[in-house]
Structure 1
């Protein structure tokens, strides 16, 4: 009410949960009104009139708060910096750039590890026998890998695989059950799920856990008892360091194979290694070299006397293979010249 005219008037109070109609009996401040109506209200709450905040010391007078006006109770939100919220200092470009690049979805590392051990490294399909590994320990379904080689669409990361000789067939021990993991170590019983280290033996292809090979110290396979060396153990899905060692070993083997092939070709070209007559190349013998003709008509026809030993008479040496004299034009056999063809 007004202190001079004592004329009562009505105002409205509005908060988030309720709306009150109030008739002030005597002038009072907004702070006293707030504490009398809401005893436990925090000090951060304040009144607004027509969207403008009012100070708590404002008195309820018609000149300051007109009759039938609505006072809205609001609360200040703490923050403005240091709490992870926006301070208003960022430019619009920074705000837009924050959402311009889509962040990749987080992948569960356990699911990623399990998928690497249960699925083909090339096709992503579940491992299905027959399975093979490459020289770096990656596991494949043989059918998918062969199909990719035939279609020549093998990814660059598997460019070291050039043919069947770069694959090693492996023997996985299957688990009798309906679980996600299908294979395990036949000796230790450990599941083939990436939690344990496994090796494939180069000679027989059996896959065994590192625990089994460590506990049963033997130079023979624990399944087929075939001998193997330490270098014959290929770690399956190994660490970065193990893959680096395998890659270096693979390159060294290819260099040695290339050098061996070049050496063999060089020896053949120099005549140090005899070659069959069907090849049409020079043949190294005690009596010298002789050329042969494979029926093409371009080379010299081979004769027995061309390869006869030294100090041998030509007629005598030739008589071993054929008759030196023609009798009535009849041909004679090699096994017995006394039975010429046509007389039997």
Structure 2
């Protein structure tokens, strides 16, 4: 520690500190939840289903899981609460007219691609907000119609908002 011709240790070499936890990018997490199936990790494609926890699934992936529990390695961790088709709701989503399939197909191929903010495939039919994770969305268990939470709060009543004045249900409503 001195007078021997060696080096003088620095504080960082003598005191060990706890390693800081790695912080994940919230944008990547948001894209993963809103653009990819929770079970198969593939991009969400119609028909889309949701469980009561709010996880989104490709309907064919959840059917494969229900038929063969070992079809997806981590299926028992992700959707162990789904035991039958009664535990999921098929969602009636409104297509986004500004969505361009050819432009977004390259961006959606990987979860980590955040070079450009891609346009969401679906929107709220009332408020026209994109379903991309920036706004909260909810679905009605009775019909599966999806709305932004803000639109549902602003419109009085508990009926589906896609029902027109004449009593006829709009597209997709059961």
- Give the alignment's TM-score, normalised by structure 1: 0.36
Deviation of 1:218 after TM superposition, in Å, equals 2.5
User: How many pairs align?
Assistant: 137
Residue 175 in structure 1 maps to residue 114 in structure 2: no
State how far apart, in whole Å, the 2-side matches of 1:174 and 1:110 are: 22
Of residues 46, 54, 73, the one that matches 1:137 is 54
Whole-angstrom CA distance in 1 between matches of 2:11 and 2:69: 57
Partner of 2:87: 166
User: For 1:150-161, what aligned pairs fall within 5 Å after superposition?
Assistant: 150-153=67-70, 154-161=75-82
Aligned partner of 1:192 in structure 2 is: 131
Q: Within 1, Cα distance between the matches of 2:87 and 2:65?
A: 14
Distance apart, 1:219 and its partner CA: 2.7
SS in 1 for 2:138: strand
- Which structure would you say has the larger Rg? 1
Show the counterpart of 2:11: 87
SS at match of 1:208: strand
In structure 2, list runs of 5 or more residues that go unmatched: 1-7, 105-117, 168-174
C-alpha distance in 2 between matches for 1:146 and 1:173: 23
Return the alpha-carbon distance in structure 2 between the equivalents of residues 107 and 163 of structure 1: 33
SS of structure 2 residue aligned to 1:155 = helix
Matches of 2:88 and 2:37, distance apart in 1: 14
Give CA deviations for 1:215-235 in whole Å, capped at 9, x if unaligned: 221232111358xxxxxxxxx
Point out where structure 1 has 5 or more consecutive residues left out of the alignment: 1-79, 227-344
Cα deviation, 1:143-164, whole Å, max 9, x if unaligned, reads 0111111111232341111111
Corresponding residue to 1:220 among 152, 159, 163: 159
User: 1:172, CA displacement in angstroms?
Assistant: 1.0
Matched with 1:116 is 33
From 16, 20, 24, the equivalent of 1:107 is 24
Residue 105 of structure 1 deviates from its aligned partner by: 5.7
1:149 equivalent in alignment to 2:75: no
Shift in Å at residue 89 of structure 1? Answer: 6.0
Q: CA deviation at 1:108?
A: 1.2
Match of 1:209 among 138, 145, 148: 148
In structure 2, distance between residues paired with 1:106 and 1:213:
33
Using the TM superposition, give the Cα deviation of residue 185 of structure 1 relative to its aligned residue in structure 2, in angstroms: 0.3
Query: What does 1:238-317 correspond to in 2, within 5 Å?
Result: none
Quote how far apart the aligned CAs of 1:88 are: 7.5
Q: CA deviation at 1:142?
A: 0.4
Deviations 1:147-204 (A, max 9, x none): 1111112323411111111111111111122253111101101111111111111111
TM-score relative to the length of structure 2: 0.68
- SS of residue in 1 equivalent to 2:139: strand
Structure 1's consecutive aligned runs of 4 or more residues displaced over 3 angstroms after TM superposition are: 103-106
With a CA cutoff of 8 Å and minimum separation of 6, indicate the structure with the bigger relative contact order: 2
Change (3 A) 1:203 1:108: same
